[in-house]
Amino acid sequence: MLPKGLICPLLAPLKKNGEIDKNSFIRLWESVRPFVAAIAVGSNFSLEGVYFTYEQKKALFELALNLWDKKIPLFFDITTSDENSTFKLAHFTLKIIKNYFNHIIIEILPLWYRSNRGLPQHIDALRAKTKAIFILDNHPRLVQMRKKFLKHKNIRTAVFKKLTKRDFIKGMVFQGNLTRFLNYQRALHGRDFYFYEADELAFLHQPTSDGVMTITANLIPELWQKIMKKNQDIFAIALAIEKLYQICHTHPGVIKWALMEKGIFSENYTPFPQPLTKKAIQRMKKWMNQYIGGKDV
């Protein structure tokens, strides 16, 4: 059974030499853990996960396992820059999660490093390496950054239909337009399948029953929990989250800067290739003064 509710694609605190900052990772984990239904480690929906090396992802998975209380599921994203290292990481996960197959889900964004052609067979081969439950990612905005001239930035509906005939594929973290989402739904033919929304604005305007994966949960997990519980007037909270999303949805470094301000991270380093602008930092500083320092929500 997959989780329902709030899933946080955990940002990775990195030192400038590329090593994982273990103490910062522990602080972030302890900040987020009480408020979420699941944690995604190395996820591409953190915007930086696809840029991690094999060694960095290994270190992240091992750290997460050491902190994990076994009470919520973990998503391990094995997506890397190429097919060979993705297979290598899949094999590594087999060694470390063999006792937790029902609680650790393999996350994968295959279009980051390959095309739709032969995708079902590719996922079959990865499954043979891991023996695990899988969840697919559809993330056209991120794929477009690497494959600007690629025709298909989404998993094609015909390919999706073939993939979902595999029982070990239990769900999808979805970003895309409504038409594609409805086409995916029809392709399921009533099969029990989870869809997690990855567009925060879309979820805030029309929440889905399975849940949301949101990068801003790294900074404001408690506010997201209030949104999920709907146990009070959430209009002001939703407005604050919308403003935050507009500031940081294109660069993970903005949230990392804010986590430094909160004393959770010690450094602000990310392998994300685009530069972090001073304007984005100024907008984040203004947002924090209003909604965290000013306690408007």
**Range in 46-50, 228-232, 271-275 the model is least confident about:** 228-232
For the chain, helix, strand, coil in percent to 5 are: 50, 15, 35
* Residue 285, domain member (yes or no): no
* Residue 70, domain member (yes or no): yes
Backbone angles phi, psi at 41, to 5 degrees: -105, 130
How far apart CA 134 and CA 147 sit, in angstroms, is: 24
Mean pLDDT of 73-93: 94
Residues facing 79 on adjacent strands: none
Q: Token digits for 243?
A: 């403003």
* Residue 137, domain member (yes or no): yes
106-159 pLDDT tens trace: 999 999 999 999 999 999 999 999 999 999 999 999 999 886 666 689 999 999
How far apart CA 213 and CA 218 sit, in angstroms, is: 11
Give the model's pLDDT for residue 233.
Answer: 74
Strands (E), 181-259: 194-197, 211-213
Q: Which residue has the tokens 């197959």?
A: 101
The neighbour count for residue 262, using CB atoms within 10 Å, is 13
Q: Token digits for 187?
A: 């392709």
Q: Which residue has the tokens 């994968």?
A: 108
pLDDT over 70 (residue 189): yes
Cα–Cα nearest to 272, from 43, 109, 50: 50
pTM of the model: 0.94
3-class DSSP assignment, residue 214: coil
278-296 pLDDT tens trace: 999 999 999 999 998 755 5
- Considering its fold, how many domains does the chain have in total? 1
Mean pLDDT of 205-209: 90
For residues 269 and 16, is the Cβ–Cβ distance under 8 A? yes
> 152: buried, middle or exposed (CB in 10 Å: 19+, 13-18, 0-12)?
middle
Instruction: Classify residue 110 by its DSSP letter.
Output: G
* Residue 174, domain member (yes or no): yes
Backbone angles phi, psi at 8, to 5 degrees: -105, 120
Give the model's pLDDT for residue 272.
Answer: 95
* Residue 19, domain member (yes or no): yes
**Range in 5-9, 17-21, 97-101 the model is least confident about:** 97-101
Q: What is the CATH number of the domain that holds 85?
A: 3.20.20.70
Give the model's pLDDT for residue 95.
Answer: 84
Q: What percent of the chain has pLDDT over 70?
A: 96
* Residues of the domain holding 68: 5-231
pLDDT over 70 (residue 9): yes
Give the model's pLDDT for residue 113.
Answer: 93
Backbone angles phi, psi at 275, to 5 degrees: -70, 150
* Residue 265, domain member (yes or no): no
**Range in 51-55, 167-171, 292-296 the model is least confident about:** 292-296
Residue partners of 66: CB distance under 8 A and separation at least 6: none
Q: Token digits for 220?
A: 């404001």
* Residue 247, domain member (yes or no): no
* Residue 209, domain member (yes or no): yes
Give the model's pLDDT for residue 251.
Answer: 96
Give the model's pLDDT for residue 234.
Answer: 86
Distances (CA, A) of 175 to 106, 134, 144, 196: 18, 17, 13, 9
Give the model's pLDDT for residue 182.
Answer: 95
Query: Average model confidence (pLDDT) for the chain?
Result: 93
Q: Would residue 190 be called left, alpha or beta, if left means φ above 0 and alpha means ψ between -120 and 50 degrees?
A: left
Cα–Cα nearest to 11, from 37, 34, 32: 32
